[in-house]
């Protein structure tokens, strides 16, 4: 049984790896084509390639569920086409045992996905975006056409580029009076966060103060900037909810709830990440069920086509239920669990029929 388990696991693992490589490769090529229009100033083609390469972990994380489904169909389908599954079944190996053999390599990708989504993808995505914006706009002049806008109290701020660890480039700050009149505007080439002291330090600061009948200008080499903004809070504003780690989402959901602000969008992203392992298991089970059931005698091309269609339909249902839960007010957890439960039910039903 150990030899059989290794043989099935090796076949499925190789199939999932090849599928993931192909899908992520196609997505990366598409990203390179889309980013070609962004080449300007110091942002060259080689920088574009570095940007896409840096975002590969998040792309891998995104396509692991679909790759597990298609890879399962491909790997088991190859065994079925070679009549190996018939021999395995004739030797007395139950369907449930085969399911367990197939789930083992899938667990490896589940573990890899958790590592990428929690530790690598958010950091590298922020690094890639910060580097791209820095090369395109630099630190010497404000550029309000893109970047990040933040409001804190009576102050509105804009950052050209936001790097991990609390490093900002091109920091523009606008301070307004109680009557909403602009009282001060400043620009600094760079600001770094001092985690020990809990404040920012601006460098090369140009300040303009506005009075009713005159303006004053001043220049400083450095200036201390006290703000409630933290690198973790900036990360939440730089990346979309789907790009944040589970721990960051949990922290920000708690922060929004303390402020009395709706956190449904972040709750939806949180439950999607928490339940991604169950999503992969559900898709793998339905893939196994197709091999033993409706697609038993089908060609390999049809199996892969059906796998892609099922994956697309699953994503469409998730994308429809998620925003619907936000608009209609039902639980984001229910929106995430519903398509997973449907996959498990359909897969279990087909497996029982295929015994």
Domain coordinates of the chain in residue numbers? 2-135+251-354, 148-238
Rounded to whole angstroms, the Cα distance separating 306 from 300 reads 10
Write the burial class of residue 271 (CB in 10 Å: 0-12 exposed, 13-18 middle, 19+ buried). Answer: buried
CA torsion sign for 34, 40, 45, 51 is: negative
Output the tens digit of pLDDT for each of the chain's 355 residues.
677 888 889 999 999 999 999 999 999 999 999 988 878 777 889 999 999 999 999 999 999 999 999 998 888 888 877 778 778 877 788 888 888 899 999 999 999 999 999 999 999 999 999 988 888 776 555 566 677 888 888 899 999 899 998 999 989 999 998 888 899 999 999 999 998 888 999 999 999 999 888 899 999 999 999 988 888 888 898 999 999 999 999 989 988 888 788 889 999 999 999 999 999 999 999 888 888 776 666 676 777 777 788 888 888 888 898 888 888 888 999 999 999 999 889 888 878 776 6
Residue 145's CB: how many other CB atoms inside 10 A?
Answer: 6
Which of the 8 DSSP states describes residue 37?
A: G
Write the burial class of residue 26 (CB in 10 Å: 0-12 exposed, 13-18 middle, 19+ buried). Answer: exposed
**CA torsion, ordered 99, 282, 115, 62, to nearest 10 deg:** 130
Q: 241, 261 in Cβ contact below 8 A?
A: no
For the entire predicted model, the pTM comes to: 0.88
As beta bridge partners, residue 159 has 148, 171
């Amino acid at each position: 049984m150990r030899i059989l388990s290794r043989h099935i696991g090796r076949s499925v693992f190789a199939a999932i790896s090849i599928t993931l490589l192909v899908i992520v490769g196609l997505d990366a090529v598409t990203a390179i084509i889309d980013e070609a229009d962004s080449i300007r100033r110091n942002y060259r083609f080689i920088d574009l390639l570095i940007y896409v390469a840096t975002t590969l972990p998040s792309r891998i994380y995104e396509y692991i569920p679909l790759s597990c489904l298609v890879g399962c169909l491909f790997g088991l389908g190859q065994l079925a086409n070679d009549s190996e599954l018939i021999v395995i079944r004739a030797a007395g190996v139950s369907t449930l045992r085969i399911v367990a053999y197939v789930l083992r390599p899938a667990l490896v990708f589940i573990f890899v996905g958790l590592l990428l989504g929690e530790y690598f993808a958010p950091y590298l995505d922020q690094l890639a975006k910060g580097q791209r914006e820095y090369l395109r706009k630099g630190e010497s002049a404000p550029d309000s056409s893109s970047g990040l806008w933040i409001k804190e109290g009576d102050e509105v701020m804009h950052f050209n580029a936001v790097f991990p660890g609390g490093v900002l480039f091109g920091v523009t700050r606008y301070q307004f009076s109680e009557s909403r009149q602009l009282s001060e505007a400043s620009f600094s080439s760079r600001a770094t966060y001092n985690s020990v002291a809990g404040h920012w330090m601006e460098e090369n600061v140009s300040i303009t103060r506005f009075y009713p009948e005159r303006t004053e200008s001043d220049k400083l080499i450095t200036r201390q900037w006290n703000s409630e903004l933290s690198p973790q809070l900036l990360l939440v504003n730089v990346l979309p909810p789907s790009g944040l780690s589970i721990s960051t989402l949990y922290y920000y959901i708690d922060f929004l709830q303390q402020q009395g602000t709706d956190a449904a969008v972040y709750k939806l992203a949180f439950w999607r990440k928490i339940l991604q392992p169950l999503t992969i298991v559900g898709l793998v089970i339905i893939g196994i069920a197709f091999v033993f059931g409706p697609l038993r005698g089908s060609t390999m091309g049809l199996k892969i086509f059906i796998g892609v269609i099922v994956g697309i339909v699953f994503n469409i249902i998730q994308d429809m239920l998620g925003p619907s839960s936000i608009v209609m007010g039902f639980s984001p957890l229910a929106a995430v669990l519903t398509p997973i439960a449907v996959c498990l039910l359909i897969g279990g039903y087909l497996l029982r029929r295929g015994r």
